[in-house]
Structure 1
Amino acid sequence: MDNFFMIFITLIASTISIICIRYTIRLRNYLKAFIKTSKQISKKEFHSRLNVDVKGELGELSRNFNEMIDIMNSKIEEVEYNHLQMTSILKSISHGILAIDIDGSIMLINEEAKKILRCNEYESIEGKNVNAVIKEGSILKEITAFKGSKESRYIEITTDDEIVYSINLDPIYLQDVDNVIIGSIINIKDITEKVQLENMRTDFVANVSHELKTPLTSISGFVETLKLNENIDVSTRNRFLGIIESESDRLKRLIDDILLLSFIEKKETKCLDLINVYEVFMEVYEMTDYFAKSKNISISYKLDNENIEILSNRDYIKQIFLNLVDNAIKYTPDNKNVWIEIEYENNNLIIKVKDNGVGIPKEDINRIFERFYRVDKARSRDVGGTGLGLAIVKHIVKNLGGYINVKSELGKGSEFTVTIPNKNFLK
């Protein structure tokens, strides 16, 4: 009986030991799988899952762990998607966006802001203090002074290199808390071109008013004189009428040039034609030949190819030739020469107009394409200039995607070179 009992006890103990060993092995395998999966998750391998087939509490733990991974993966994907959206929006914004915390550390910055603030575009900026990152002193000063402010602010800054920036500074409040400021957001935009255009517009209005007033005052004065003096002699009357006619013609030319320049600047499109460059030039040559002969000026021209054709506005091409050739004749003394060359070089049309006239002072060369700018105002009015011819040429050439250069020496003459790219040509 005792032997049987001992055998029974031994059998039960062995069974329990085997069960414990199997459970221990299974638990160990489960822990190994758990550790392996958790390591994969820590390496951002969110596709990993616990695949151990267990029941009871370990099975429930496995299911909960896998569900936790699914939720975490879903949240991370959502965060990454939102971050991608935010990054895309920031990149698409044409002006600079910068967000800093209350201590001046950068939380967010886009590429345009990096350019404006002269940051290293290849350097990671987020997390660094603005004092160590922003190189433009005037902007840094305003941003630093604004930290902690509760009221929005707008300023315009002109840097040492004449760049004008508009800056909007706004406080960032903690969500759902109106009184707790956690930083600032700065919106920076380069408005140099806008300011220049506004200044040009102001100058243009002032210049137009002055240019129109001069001939109108002259016309009005002589008309009044004729009205008040009925017995004026015929020769004097005719001389007055001649002045009125001359001033009226000048007024008409001025208005025509203003309208043309306005049309070009608006980039309004007329019907495009296939234009033979040689034919347009010869039309201008015939128009200016009488004027040249009246001053005994010899006009010589050279064309590489009389069959060059351009798809453009015929009036535009005519205006280029007319203004350059007419100017060359106007500002060249009697008995001198004017040369015109038209070439097709490196797939570009090149127009050169050269004279041995009065030339342009060095200090004036960079300004001759400005509207109403005259090197010699008295002489310009005497020869009938409106001060808009070269501005018209410059804007036409720019609209055609080309450029214009000038070389000149005072007392020796000038050479204007217009280059128009081949995209406008059909051969």
Structure 2
Amino acid sequence: MGRSKNVMGACCIFAVAALGLLVSAMRALALSSSAPTNTSVLPLVIKADQVPDLLGVNPLQLSAFACTGDDRIAPVLFQVDEFDAAGHVRASAGDSADAEESPGVIDENDEIVMMIGDLGPPCSDEQLSDVRGRLVPVSAESSYLSRPGWVYFVVAERSARVSRRYVRYSSAEDQVSAEGYDIRYEPRNPLIADYFVSHDMKSLVGENILDRQKFRFTARTLGDLVSIGIDEDDLESTLSAVRVGPVRIVREIHSVMTPVPGLTISADVTYLYYARVWEIRVAVHLPQAAALFTSSLDAVASMDYRDKLGIRLSTSAHPGGVLIDGKMLASERSLSLGDEFWYFETGEGINLVAVLSMEKDIPIAPRVHLIDGPDPANPPEAEPGGYPELGWELLGWEDLQARTYHFGILIASLPGFPERGGRGFYHVLQAPIRISQGRSTDGTDAQQ
């Protein structure tokens, strides 16, 4: 070829003058999914060791694009999140991903994050003919994709920057803002949200519908003779790190509770936020003394809403659902999940699926936690009488061991009714994704 590699690297992917036109095509890619609504909200998280040709690359030299169904090329919005060997995220320097000017090189602990909906079909040789730099093609396959989705990474001296963002973060307010929601956390307790706006809810547009996020525990000891109640106000929490990018915000919190003097239980909590999905990952570290001290444990994690009336709530075991109307019926007091741990809220513009995950050896069946009326009360709360209170409960947990227990909650606020309802979204979420790296080249013909 007639150009040096230095010139090729400086040219990056495409002419800067065309970048504005390409950004407009970002969400118009030809990804073929059997469940497009379900797929549209899902991120694609690629472990860096799945793309070995990107190991050792400086993220500032990395760009990504995909091909569209109308023979165009569109930049793909992505970020590289750096993690240490223990799985803790490296904090950003400010509210913007661009604030971190000296990232390390990509290593096997890191994650490359984008949206599945931004992938496209394989590019033709003609579409790749103007690419300058080292080209690393990557494909994603899953049962809900009728054909693999492709993204093409380019390593060059200078990367192409895309100004668009799917999520934003304000460190001053500890608030995440996204397409589907805004959520803010208490200044004194970064674990607990006290402000939540759904951008889909028709009746309360732009209004805070959350009283508070609740974590409630009842520990019984001495053969259940003594009960100790713990709520979120008893947790001492510290915001350990925040990682800010255009696709995902990561917040890490370390929490400690002391049920009795001399007995401390700690937890590491990671919140991950995308445009319409947010996720909570919890690792509870139970020491030997706490395991011996506790005969049984009840645990409840819930969101106490000021007003969410008119929503219909369903589960796998109750597909017909119940109406949230401020009247607590007997059938709502024991709303089982069946063998799939999800519930689905629909109505008033909302289509929200919540999914619980936990280790299979935990000897208890989770249930939906629902309060749809003034009885039973569950103080403390800022505004008693707001309905519903909704979340998860683990009741009568016995045989606790000295170990780390892992739990996860994923909440997806869908832009429309999900294909096959809550069950359909759950099955898409559970479907494995196979990541494959194609043959890297310094020019065209990068696919295998």
TM-score band (shorter)?
under 0.3
More contact order relative to length (CA 8 Å, sep ≥ 6): 2
Task: Give the structure with the higher percent strand.
Answer: 2
Greater helix fraction, Structure 1 or Structure 2: 1
**Structure 1-normalised TM-score?**
0.23
Structure 2 length normalisation: TM-score?
A: 0.22
